[in-house]
Amino acid sequence: MRGRLWGWWIVQTLGGVLCIWLGKTSSLSLAIFVMIVFSVFVQAACGLAFGVVPSSPGAALLQGTRYTKEDGITYMGIMILCCTLPIMLIYFPMWGGMLFGPSSKEDATEENYYAAEWSAEEKARGLHLNTIKFAENSKGERGRRRRLAPTTDATPSHV
């Protein structure tokens, strides 16, 4: 999950920078090139956002009659950069976030995280069981952890 957050932040930030650059270009050929590259980053950021938050709300576009097209695009790029900053604050106790790793607490598990949404009464009725199943499937999102291989001087039995 930390990699997803970093990827989302990098791609969306670069998209914002490209949007600002697009608003400041004065050459048509350069503007077309920047717009094509910008559109790739926009699509990638949308896909990465869905990978972190599966139900992303729609986007809003800065439009106004008092801005020129160039200024409007530049301000939209600045808005993109501002909206990208809070991604650094997303933190999942069992997976970590961009700035901090996973929690070392033993109760920082997928099951505890997702089951916290259910009341004791709802748990008693078994309404949380699908959530627990989802939590068990989410363990694959943790990524691979580095483990030191045991060292032995003996020759393996298959040789």
81 and 100 assigned to the same domain: no
What is the pLDDT, as a whole number, of residue 95? 82
Average pLDDT in the chain? 79
pLDDT above 70: percentage of residues in the chain: 79
Calpha distance 111→4 (Å, rounded): 21
Calpha distance 41→12 (Å, rounded): 7
77 and 125 assigned to the same domain: no
13 and 87 assigned to the same domain: yes
Q: Which domain holds residue 11?
A: 2-91
68 and 47 assigned to the same domain: yes
Greatest CA separation for the chain? 78
15 and 87 assigned to the same domain: yes
Residue 157 lies in a domain: no
Calpha distance 156→52 (Å, rounded): 43
At 84-127, the pLDDT tens digits run 889 889 888 888 888 888 888 888 888 888 888 899 999 999 99
Q: Is 92 helix (H, G, I), strand (E, B) or coil?
A: strand
Residue 148 lies in a domain: no
pLDDT band at 33 (very low <50, low <70, confident <90, very high): very high
| Number of domains comprising the chain | 2
11 and 78 assigned to the same domain: yes
20 and 71 assigned to the same domain: yes
63 and 115 assigned to the same domain: no
Residue 159 lies in a domain: no
99 and 138 assigned to the same domain: yes
Does the pTM surpass 0.75? The reply is: no
84 and 6 assigned to the same domain: yes
Task: Check whether 66 has a pLDDT greater than 90.
Answer: no
31 and 51 assigned to the same domain: yes
What is the pLDDT, as a whole number, of residue 73? 80
What is the pLDDT, as a whole number, of residue 119? 92
Residue 6 lies in a domain: yes
Quick one: which of 138, 124, 34 has its CA closest to 95?
Answer: 138
Could you tell me which residue, 134 or 141, shows the higher pLDDT? 134
Task: Check whether 37 has a pLDDT greater than 90.
Answer: yes
